[in-house]
Structure 1
């Protein structure tokens, strides 16, 4: 335990906070060092709370397990508290992604609570696990179910704040990055940045919120891809390594899951494309726009089949159409507005 932690524990809640570290220049700004993109940039802040939201099959669990793999590979511990699924599903995914049984035994800790943290000695059990393993990452999967288990209403801001104090802050106080997996609202037009339920789920975060939007489906033998956008970044260190998007959020990268067969898949978090802002493959963008206008919503593979050109170039053209607001991010992709030939309106 550090001297700063000792001072925090000795200070009563309503006494002034010691500002000396900030004033003397020894205070260190939070840096996202938990989990990693392929370029080495981190995903989550140690000791902060985060949320990852998406529709069903948007890739939330794969995203969280990618970060867990990164930490386990560095011989750090990861804890997975599951309120929705079971150990078979989660651990099978880790094995599919290449984690060895020994690494999982030694560095991955799975919990499936069926009672709230206040019952019996559940809080003590969790405190002991966190103290014994000192995890860098703790995933809370299924926030709506978790709040219900604690007798709290996910639609009420006051209850969201109570859950944050009882569960989330208990974990972040140990220095772990907490990542809550949640669902978006069903209303696509008005959902904005928010998860299902109370606004405080976003407003109360001390770290970041990511929204995942699936562009190509995940499945055995397929390469699925979801866009990762930053909806909130309270410490402010993530957006510097992201690109603005037409949605008003910042594009932090893509979740890519390449399935070779049912027993082996590779997951990666790739950075956003660093391309010349003035460059656009306008002819291919126009062809894709025409195909969507003619055939209606199409999955990416059908778009590639319906238009002429090199496959990689067509994928890039589709990405630009999405980023520029001409085509929806979610698959099957829908045409929002026609893209003019040569990129110039008549």
Structure 2
């Protein structure tokens, strides 16, 4: 107990004021001490949540119904309950993501009864890769399925040791050169292509999603410009496509491929292609073109709302392997409507210049054997 004596020269009221001030300071000190202790305590809840994610946390959240975690140090599960009947399972490895193992069940009970088969499938692919993704999508109870998975994969010491031993022998490949990347571009006797590298923001943030949308619109606009140009020149073609591929940490490779009906049109088709690319980068797209592309994209996004279980599982697996945040189709449509409300054709024209105008050169492929680097005439660009 704190006792204060009051000499004769201090009044009782003054002593009470002093006691009140000391008590207030004591309470504030205790509060600050509590805050300091809380700040020094490990944030186990937040840390666990971050460890359960396959990507760096960003300002885009996973669907609330999704559940993900690690069954072992190299086996990740991702559960996505839906209203669609049945259950689809996809097992994907980082070593060979293009050849997943797929299992389909008509009911959730069939999936529960097939856990031993599922474990066998996982163990078969696990010896070839250190990272395995197990994605399950469908009509099931998440809690029950998660308990069953942990029970099934509880005794996996040998499996983990195999993977650790295997992972030590794998070396990270060096980043390929631009020339080696263009080797993978599809070539035929009747095809021409233009490929360019550009620096972009590849983080899974809302800002990066907006930038990707502007690139999608610009790629579609270029494709439609080429279609119209070839029709005007009466050059027959079977397909035109412009798409991007992530190749480095901060770079994408944008490729426009035209498949012609006749090998005889290769040279003329290339000149038309070069002129169309230069024109759209120098002058840009119109307001009407911008609106038309929005209609096409919205139609595609609405059609994607009715995905099959296997399509959903494939999209989730791709996100896990590429370490991207998974965005479900309904959220993609929501983000699209939000971004275009603050977007115009000016944003698309800036993106066209960023992708095509700032490149040092464009790699061109004509026919099956002719390849060269070319500089676009962008003297009129911004």
By the TM > 0.5 criterion, same fold? no
TM-score (structure 1 length as normaliser)? 0.24
TM-score (structure 2 length as normaliser)? 0.23
* Higher RCO structure, 1 or 2 (CA under 8 Å, sep 6+): 2
Whose helix proportion is higher, 1 or 2? 2
For the pair shown, the structure with the greater C-alpha radius of gyration is 2
